Structure 1
Amino acid sequence: MAEALGKKLAGDVFESFSAGTEPGTQINPDVVRLMKQVYGIDMELTQHNKPLSDLPAVDIVVTMGCNVQCPTLPCSHREDWGLDDPSGKEDGVFLTVMAQIEEKVLDLKRRIQTGELE
């Protein structure tokens, strides 16, 4: 969700990449369905699950929380968004997390644009 929303909402300011500590074989079908409904993003066409080793060098690392211990990646700025993992829960929980990610992506975009991260 974060990669897709980053590309849609802040692609003019930063590149978004996402990877998992234990990526599955497919993107969660609930995420695919809801992202298409709410944002018109077809994640099956634009994204795939990938391991951390597939990421390019990055300046900013954002971890989602989700009760996962994330390894350290070299970067100039790091923050954790402390989100709950909606997997296996009802649509309302996914929609809440999607809205939180949207808000945080837009805030990160603003902070980059205003130089608050330098």
Structure 2
Amino acid sequence: MKVLPKVAFVCVHNSCRSQIAEALGKHLANYTFESFSAGTEVKDKINQDAVRLVSDIYGINMEETQHSKLLSDIPQVDIVITMGCNVSCPTLPCKYREDWGLEDPSGKSDEEYIKIIEKIHENILQLKRRIEINEIVI
């Protein structure tokens, strides 16, 4: 059985962008990499607008499969993707790291959330392809 690389999607609160990325990673690339999300702080629950829109668009109930986690709650990972923190991004040991520079849609319109969800979807597919063609070597 092939051992899949582990990818952590990281932002400070682990409640919106990183949770969306974990859900879409599991949905779009589960045969290419394992998806995790985490942050330096946790929230009581995942951002409800993100939960609603990911459910509407993909039929994924993030509240059933995910919860807000600290960096220490996930296994050692190979790849770290930061979401684009406006403050100091959390760090986590890894073999490869990149930042996606995504704005936090929290408190904004559904259209802003959908733009971020679509960008995460696109980025997940690009990451999947780059891992599959060994552009990202781990």
- Smaller-chain TM-score bracket: over 0.9
Q: How many aligned residue pairs are there?
A: 118
Query: In the alignment, which residue of structure 2 is the partner of 1:55?
Result: 74
Query: In the alignment, which residue of structure 2 is the partner of 1:39?
Result: 58
Identity %: 62
Give the RMSD, CA atoms, in angstroms. Answer: 0.8
Q: CA deviation at 1:57?
A: 0.2
The amino acid of 1:81's aligned partner reads: W
The structure 1 segments of at least 4 consecutive aligned residues displaced by more than 6 Å after TM superposition are none
- Which segment is superposed worse, 65-74 or 44-53? 65-74
Provide TM-score, normalisation by structure 2: 0.83
Q: CA deviation at 1:69?
A: 1.5
Q: CA deviation at 1:14?
A: 0.2
Aligned-partner Cα distance in 2 for 1:66–1:93: 17
Aligned 8 A contact 1:58 1:75 in 2? yes
Query: What residue ranges of structure 2 are gaps of 5+ in the alignment?
Result: 1-19
Query: In the alignment, which residue of structure 2 is the partner of 1:91?
Result: 110
